[in-house]
Amino acid sequence: MKVILASESPRRIKLLKRIVKSFLVIPSGLDENQIAEKDPVVFALKAAEAKARAVAAKNPEAVVIAADTVVTIDGHILGKPSNRAEAERMLELLSGRTHQVVTAVVLYNQQEDRLLSSKETSRVTFRPLTPDDIRAYLDRNTYQDKAGAYAIQEIKDLFLEKLEGDYNNVVGLPVRLLRRLFNKFQETKATVEISGFLLPEAAGLARSQGQTFEVPGAYPGDLVEISYLPAGKTAIKARLLEIITPGPARQQAACPHFGLCGGCSFQDLVYPEQLRQKENYLFEIIKQHFPSSYRYLEIERILPSPAHYFYRNKMEFSFGQSGGEIFLGLREKTRPNHGHHNKRVVPLEICHLSTPLTEKIFRAVSRRATETGLPVFDLESKKGFFRHLVIREGKRTGELMLLLVTTSQAELPTEEFAATILEAVPELASFWWVENDRIADVVAFEKTHLVYGREAIEEMLQGFRFRIYPGSFFQTNPLAAETVYALIQEEARRLRTQSALGLYCGSGAIEICLSKAAAEVVGVDWDPANIRTANENLAINSVQNVRFQESSVEEALPEISRGSFDLLVIDPPRAGLSPRSLKQIIGLRIPALIYVSCNPATLARDLKVLADSGYKVSRLTPVDFFPHTGHLEVVAFLSL
């Protein structure tokens, strides 16, 4: 492909080399004064297109890349200054204020009459400038060909107070945006029928001319138009352009935000089909690790979640900001060829995974946050205040806990927040302010302040009460968890269990429920907070035959002698068991083992090791803990 950059700007040439190895440089020679347009964005788009068309007229076979950058403040466009006096006036206007830098990018091929365009906007704030500051910069004589009379790379240490958005955009070429456009320009279109489904990626599968296309958002039975980047691989990620004929399992998504945020994967797929696809996924995973015997493994029908919507007892939402207004939402859905770089926050009115109360909570918290005048934390600049809102809810008790997570860069007006939330949501039982200064986009409990109500809320499972603190580990879907705990109890009764060992016990829910079916139960977890909560749960339920031990699994197992337990229950993190702990478990030769996993891939891996050591996998019971997502819980029953 012949590529031409319609600019001789050294900055744009250098940035384009990050994307295209070989290209020609042919300036357009366009006189931008010919473009009579006052709107900055429209002006930039028209100027970039005019540049691209001018160069393409003599190079019709080439893909021409053109860009135009404008600086705008108070609705006015600041172009390239014609002289020093005009440059000085521009810098005086920008002094101590925030302005916008808009770069329009156009890709054009005249031969195919194909044009793609988009724009990137950044906000730049200058510190107050003295006349000496301005004169010293202008004396460099580098302002002449710069929109707004400056180059960001020259003034960032002198004038810049804050930059919001893409730095390269202000330099003159938004690389991330251009890479997406360039990839899109090279894509080929095709019409395919979806015949399969891929989990946990939640992508439809289509096979055509010896290639397999992975199409997020497409389902078996759909006839769709896709676009993709030709590649030498047999499996190609494609974009869904249009659903020509929908398959029989499609439905209208309940959530108005579905498809935008990354909370759900397939809310528009009827629930029985979701379950069927998860069963197929489990079969395929097991088949990979047990190729000759998987057909003889008893894999039971998947057990559905008791609730299909509003089932999660914990959700983390992010703060976003637009036009001075603060809102709450989730990070946008990752799309093919778009990368994962600081995905924007999609504003939500309600979340159908969390609680119906999100509609009131979002509105109240967003309004109060906006009224403070404090900014949202920016992942690039690492500055700002509001970060996350965590919602925890007892599904059987209805008790609500909110955790407002900020940086420590300001003081939260706690009384005002509590009053606003209580007025909107009287169900509030616990409200915490959490300070977190970590760079990563995660919720960390560095410093906590109880603002209102109790330290913990409670949940009910199988007649037991469980306390949930801000950092407590508790099953995300408690109603479905009851189904799993009942399976464990049933197996323990069938085995006439006398002594059971629970690894990765968290706050003790499995072990306390198991106390009904086993004479003695011991739970192990490395987290002191989990063990404290587990012991508290023992006390409030007056359970006498369970005790908990604070230890890592790898440190606890060597202290256990053979014959101490006749049932082992394992509920590890998504990464599964470490090779060391697997070896230790095998060495104990506990006759019965129940493995609860939220990751079928690591479960199958570990089951293969256990099976090779003498354990027999009796049966697998999948349980849908996570409707509308690609995730699945599985309970495996093993014996020696």
Specify whether the CB–CB gap between 586 and 610 falls below 8 A.
yes
Q: What is the mean pLDDT of residues 138-166?
A: 89
Provide CB contacts within 8 A for 468, sequence distance 6+: 313, 392, 394, 401, 456, 457, 458, 459, 474, 507
User: Residue 344 and residue 369: Cα distance in Å, rounded?
Assistant: 19
Q: At what angle do helices 84-94 and 131-138 cross, to 10 degrees?
A: 140
Specify whether the CB–CB gap between 509 and 531 falls below 8 A.
no
What are 174's two structure tokens? 């938004």
What is residue 92's predicted lDDT score, i.e. its pLDDT? 94
- CA-based nearest residue to 218, from 235, 203, 198: 203
Q: Look-up: residue for tokens 């920016």? A: 378
What is residue 184's predicted lDDT score, i.e. its pLDDT? 87
Catalytic residue of the set 264, 351, 513, 598:
598
What is residue 341's predicted lDDT score, i.e. its pLDDT? 47
**Which tens digits make up the pLDDT trace of 48-99?**
999 999 999 999 999 999 999 999 998 889 988 999 999 999 999 999 999 9
User: Residue 542 and residue 536: Cα distance in Å, rounded?
Assistant: 10
What is residue 248's predicted lDDT score, i.e. its pLDDT? 95
How many residues can be counted in the chain? 640
Q: What is the mean pLDDT of residues 239-262?
A: 93
Provide CB contacts within 8 A for 95, sequence distance 6+: 126, 128, 129, 134
Q: Does residue 133 register a pLDDT over 50? A: yes
**Which tens digits make up the pLDDT trace of 524-561?**
999 999 999 999 999 999 999 999 999 999 999 999 99
Least confident of 159-163, 219-223, 440-444, 629-633: 440-444
Q: Does residue 628 register a pLDDT over 50? A: yes
User: Residue 345 and residue 564: Cα distance in Å, rounded?
Assistant: 51
What is residue 334's predicted lDDT score, i.e. its pLDDT? 67
The amino acid at 47? A
Q: What is the mean pLDDT of residues 399-413?
A: 95
**What rounded mean pLDDT belongs to the chain?**
92
- CA-based nearest residue to 469, from 460, 458, 461: 458
| Structural domains in the chain plus CATH codes | 3-185 (3.90.950.10), 187-250 (2.40.50.140), 295-305+475-639 (3.40.50.150), 314-461 (2.40.50.1070)
What is residue 340's predicted lDDT score, i.e. its pLDDT? 44
Q: What is the mean pLDDT of residues 490-500?
A: 97
pLDDT band (50, 70, 90) for residue 235: confident
User: Residue 331 and residue 60: Cα distance in Å, rounded?
Assistant: 40
Tell me the β-bridge partners of 124: 99, 163
Beta strands at 196-198 and 203-208: parallel, antiparallel or unpaired: antiparallel
What are 560's two structure tokens? 């256990």
**Which tens digits make up the pLDDT trace of 304-336?**
999 999 999 999 999 999 878 999 999 887 654
Known catalytic residue at 598: yes
pLDDT band (50, 70, 90) for residue 22: very high
Q: Does residue 376 register a pLDDT over 90? A: yes
